[in-house]
A and B are shown apart, each in its own frame.
Chain A
Amino acid sequence: SQQGEEDPQALSIQEGENATMNCSYKTSINNLQWYRQNSGRGLVHLILIRSNEREKHSGRLRVTLDTSKKSSSLLITASRAADTASYFCATVGRDDKIIFGKGTRLHILP
């Protein structure tokens, strides 16, 4: 079964704008991860945030985690055409299973 619910399901923005995607989950986690997937391709790991962390940065990516609300957000700043992809949050529990959310399809308009 799926753990996370991404919001929005689809997002189209102009190149250069910031893109924000949200993820909510249901059970306790060890960490939460964000992945990118280009159409028909494999997964690319973007960032991992542990349950005791609140915010993490990696290049143009900023991830927040609120364990009290069981939610996370991924912010991509200064978006580029190459950022067009599907983005998934994934939670990891004590059993080490990675459970994926439904994903957000991001489309960057030129």
Chain B
Amino acid sequence: GAVVSQHPSWVICKSGTSVKIECRSLDFQATTMFWYRQFPKQSLMLMATSNEGSKATYEQGVEKDKFLINHASLTLSTLTVTSAHPEDSSFYICSANRTPYEQYFGPGTRLTVT
């Protein structure tokens, strides 16, 4: 099956710093990738849709200047949390479309901001 990886799997950073999370489709090309955030004991909330070679589309309420998304190639999308604060601590999950009916999720990245 198709594999999507995320790096790092967990990260701890200090308040005010920026953190970059990578999402890679390992054995297929993905023109579209999605980023989700999940707070403890809650569901996944779609943050943005990332399209290769174009600007990301953000969901309502998601600050695009705080969560920078770059989809540089057909196998890589990055999410940068800028000037992170403790309230940004969360589980961040990406997914990648192999076809419109096949979307594969990464294992997630746990971010803790101290």
Spell out A's residues near B (CB within 8 Å). 1-2, 30-31, 35, 40-43, 45, 48, 88, 92, 95-103, 105
Contact = CB atoms under 8 A, between A and B. Distances in A.
A97 B106 contact: no
B54 interface: no
11 contacts: A1-B59, A2-B43, A30-B100, A43-B44, A43-B105, A92-B103, A96-B103, A98-B103, A102-B42, A102-B43, A103-B42
Given A88-B43, A105-B41, 16 more contacts: A1-B60, A2-B45, A30-B101, A40-B91, A41-B108, A42-B107, A42-B108, A43-B44, A43-B93, A43-B105, A88-B44, A97-B46, A98-B34, A99-B46, A100-B45, A102-B43
B89 interface: no
Contacts, number: 51
Interface residues of B, number: 25
A54 B45 CA distance: 27
A6 to B, nearest CB: 9
B97 interface: yes
